[in-house]
Chain A
Amino acid sequence: MKKDAIGDSLSRVDGRLKVTGGAKYSGEYKVPNLTYGVLVSATIASGTVTALDTRAAERAPGVLAVITPFNAPKVPGYQAGAERPVRGLKLFNDNKIYFNSQPIALVVADTFERATYAACLVKATYNTEPFETDFHKNIDKGVTPQKGNYKDYVRGEANAYKNAPVVVEEEYLLPTEVHNPMELHVTTAFWDGDDKVTLYTKSQGVKGSQRSIAAAFGLNPDNVQINSRFVGGAFGSSLRTWPHEIAAAQAAKLVKRPVKLTLTREQMFTQVGYRPLTIQKIGLGATADGKLIGITHESHSQTAVYEEFTEGAVNVSQFLYNSPNVNTLYKVVPLNVGVPAPMRGPGEATGSFALESALDELSYKLNLDPIELRLRNYTDTDPERNKPWSSKYLKECYQKGAEAIGWADRKAQPGANKEGEWLVGYGIGCGAFGAYRGNAVAKIKLTADGSVNIQSATSDIGPGTGTSMVLIAADTLGIPADKITFELGNSAFPNAPTQGGSATVSSVGSAVHDVCVALKQKLYIMAGKPADSMEPIDYVAVLKQNNMPSVELTQESKGNPEAQKYSMYSFSAHFAKVHVHPLTGQVKIKKIVACVDAGKIVNHKTASSQMIGGAVGGVGMAMTEEAVFDNRYGRYINGNFADYHVPVNADIQQIEAIFIDKPDPVLNPVGTKGIGEISLIGVAPALANAIYNATGKRVRELPITPDKLI
């Protein structure tokens, strides 16, 4: 019998569905009597919409309703004093405009074309108020966030770097970067009576969506059914329930027919979050032999005037390197913009760009190899929390990554390395991301034909969650993977956390592991053997002996209390080799090596793909992506794929993923730590540092476009 085990390279269990067009995403379910919703966006950035002339739209063929702030049925969760208030923008609840492109009406018609046409007939009258979208002009208005632990941090002495023998003090800018998953955000909603609603919606967490929709409409969560079996990418943009999802349900209730609301690509830039524009100041002070004396990290990020968004952009400076003196400051600048959202590697990806770039600058001032500088400041315990790491193999990452990129061929002197007419450079960028584990429940059913089905209400936005879960179950039960099915993306399944923070395998994988162990023990007992017996038994024979057609179990898996004693992180060292053309500034990324300590790797095939994908995301962050505002109107001028450049196939050459692949002994029974975020954190600085090594040009404002290199 074939043994499928953790650590294999299993092809995706849903691969066939994805390559044949059989995988159904949220906008693709055939629902009878379907109607189509199209949002109308505001063309001012602040003020009120005083009137909406919807007559022409309402009269247009096929139009069933035009929902506006003036006629929208009240959403209970939006009202003052609501039992379960809905956070964020309350669409159509009042006539206030907080940002340009905020929806002001929703047109519902019997075809997509008719709804789209009617939407352009809606005429708005505004009372315009002054607005602010210029981050640089408003940076002084930055405030310490009200929620969360974002107080100024000091360890030792503040700004100690200033008095060090060798000092780096620089400012780094990360422009707004938009998730832009390939699937447009889409919701299909329909009601059964007045108190039961079903949504097919793009969601990273069906249980979270269920709670939010229930809160919005004042429903019992059991009466809200959320389906999100296939999610066409998200990268954080579907971590929460957005106003347009509630609007789709609101519209469906009004027209008493199913409504499918699909955002346009342009609306994807304004309605579902983004990685916020951030300016960071880094101060590093070191001794002449490269020991850090002080780190100062100050960050200002944009947020919305109507909702505060925060992320741990300065956290990485508090623990990644050993420095007796560290101080950080984090402020947000409220502007007339849509609210940001966590985007792959939230906080740390931003912070590590600044910290790892500054460290590289320091290495040149010290005339020290960048890896050697990191080794001299390596820390075997968490200096922020004074706790041991649950596991940390970052040194091994440096070593293996350096070998794979050919670090020995790097020349310390910028511009000294050439291949033909191209300048050659090597760079390193490191990062860390917290390793988490949430409570999760899994239900297992073994049937007399030998098949096993497992259910849990998690999601799969692309990493191959189902495939990993099948492999964990196959390994734990000792049966072939093709006997096992794993179902997700359904709010009726047992509880699982939202897919985010690289915690799904850690959380849901633990539940799958535990429910398999429980099933195994039950079968051993049924067979009259000790529960912890190692002797192989025939599960099907046990069922038959007991005259049972199937056996079913549900198991909750909670975190290890021992974990409190440790600091738990995944660590990454990304390496880049670039060619830069001295005349045109063209950059060719010859190779990226992503070496990570992410604990035990469950499925090498999908994990490698995830690492490669994170590196591609990092290439976008470093080289091409920037959402640009026209501050005269407070509106994006490049809200499409022709003007907002994401990496395409021609931009990417060789990417190699290397795993340390040593189990973490604390976090969960499988020993995983998570790779989704860490795959991107550190990529951008590795590229910026490689480009400096090639050219001697230090670019501190992303993206590194050719004009900045000539």
Chain B
Amino acid sequence: MSTTKPFTPTDGEDNSNGTRRDFLKQTSLLTAIALTPGTVVKAAENQWDEKFAGVFEKQALHLEVNGVKHELMVEPRVTLLEVLREYLDLTGTKKGCDRGQCGACTVHVNGVRINSCLSLALTNDGKKITTIEGLAKEEELHPMQEAFIKHDGFQCGYCTSGQIMSAVALLKEGHTGSETEIREFMSGNICRCGAYPNIVKAIQEVKGGMV
């Protein structure tokens, strides 16, 4: 009797490989590092392929972050957000969703705002990154930072870095023509504490050069 198997959410898992790097066993990579076939079997049993791969898969990454040059070795799957937070200890850039849906991780790449959680670090090789830590000139805050304090454009502070990075980019983008335009172009940055009206006031003030 033939029946159609109903879809279940776990079906997809049947097709997955035992390990991510099974493909390595079918490539010439291990040959290239001069192992005999017997050793290949042993290597596979001991998961050496995984360990080799762990080393080989890392690639060189050159980043200039807030004017400081960094030479790193990272796996291709590492996001720019993780590099900033976990490798460079620049935790001012926040993780809020890892899906590009909240804006907490907003940074500038070559002057353009992006969600760093959606950007693989290696795709930024050679680029200039500015994070919230790079906005102030030593003790002197950026006018947007001053305005956020003055207008209380935050409460818990967790979305604040992303809000400020977006706000600074907004001025450059020329999207501060009206209150409505500011709201629209700041809508990629969620603030769950609900500081939106104060954020808009801060941006308007900086736009007007009043700070």
**Which A residues have a C-beta under 8 Å from some C-beta of B?**
11-12, 14-25, 27-28, 30, 43, 56, 59-62, 111-113, 117, 120-121, 123, 180-184, 230-235, 262, 264-265, 461-464, 605-606, 608-610, 612-617, 633, 635, 640-642, 646-650, 652-655
Contact = CB atoms under 8 A, between A and B. Distances in A.
B50 A61 contact: yes
B145 A20 contact: yes
A606 B198 CA distance: 11
B97 A635 contact: no
Contacts of B75: 113
Contacts of A27: 91, 95
B99 interface: yes
B133 A20 contact: yes
Most chain A CB within a 10 A radius of its CB, from B16, B86, B159: B86
Given A21-B131, A56-B19, A123-B13, A613 B155 contact: yes
B156 A649 contact: no
A708 B147 CA distance: 40
Given A19-B148, A182-B156, A609-B152, A648 B190 contact: yes
By secondary structure, the A interface counts as loop
Contacts of A608: 152
A262 B85 CA distance: 13
B135 A20 contact: yes
24 contacts: A15-B148, A18-B154, A20-B133, A22-B92, A23-B157, A24-B91, A25-B94, A61-B51, A61-B53, A61-B54, A113-B78, A121-B19, A181-B158, A182-B159, A184-B95, A184-B96, A232-B156, A232-B157, A232-B158, A262-B95, A640-B97, A646-B192, A649-B187, A649-B196
A654 B197 contact: yes
B104 to A, nearest CB: 6
Interface string B93-106: 11111110110100
Contact of A612 (B104, B149, B194): B194
B193 A462 contact: yes
Interface in B162-211: 164, 180, 182-184, 186-200
Contacts of B19: 56, 59-60, 121
Contacts of A642: 99, 101
B156 A20 contact: no
B22 to A, nearest CB: 10
Contacts of B54: 61-62
Contacts of A616: 191, 193-194, 196
Contacts of B195: 609, 612-613
The B interface is mostly helix, strand or loop, or mixed, namely loop
Contact of A650 (B90, B92, B187): B187
Contacts of A117: 20, 77
B132 A21 contact: yes
Nearest to B142: A19
Contacts of B102: 182, 265, 641
B91 A20 contact: no
Contacts of B135: 20
Contacts of A635: 9
- Chain B: interface size category: 35 or more
Contacts of B152: 11-12, 605-606, 608-609
A641 B99 contact: yes
Question: Which of A12, A262, A462, A617 has its CB near the most chain B CB atoms (within 10 A)?
Answer: A462
Nearest to B18: A56
Contact of B145 (A19, A120, A648): A19
A134 B180 CA distance: 41
Nearest to A181: B192
A233 B156 contact: yes
B132 A20 contact: yes
B180 to A, nearest CB: 8
A182 B104 contact: yes
A606 B186 CA distance: 22
Contact of B94 (A16, A56, A182): A182
A616 B20 CA distance: 44
Given A61-B50, A605-B152, A640-B101, A28 B85 contact: yes
A646 B77 CA distance: 29
Contacts of B188: 648
Given A18-B160, A649-B183, A182 B190 contact: yes
Contacts of B94: 25, 182-183, 232
Contacts of B20: 60, 117
Contacts of B85: 28
B106 to A, nearest CB: 12
Contact of B194 (A14, A24, A183, A647): A647
B72 interface: no
Given A12-B149, A182-B156, A606-B152, A652 B194 contact: yes
A298 B75 CA distance: 57
A579 to B, nearest CB: 13
Contact of A21 (B96, B161, B194): B161
Nearest to A460: B156
A615 to B, nearest CB: 7
A282 B141 CA distance: 54
B196 A180 contact: no
B189 to A, nearest CB: 7
A463 B192 contact: no
Given A182-B94, A183-B156, A633 B131 contact: no
A14 B155 CA distance: 10
A21 B93 contact: yes
Given A56-B18, A59-B50, A113-B77, A183 B96 contact: yes
B10 interface: yes
A654 B16 CA distance: 52
Contact of A617 (B47, B132, B194): B194
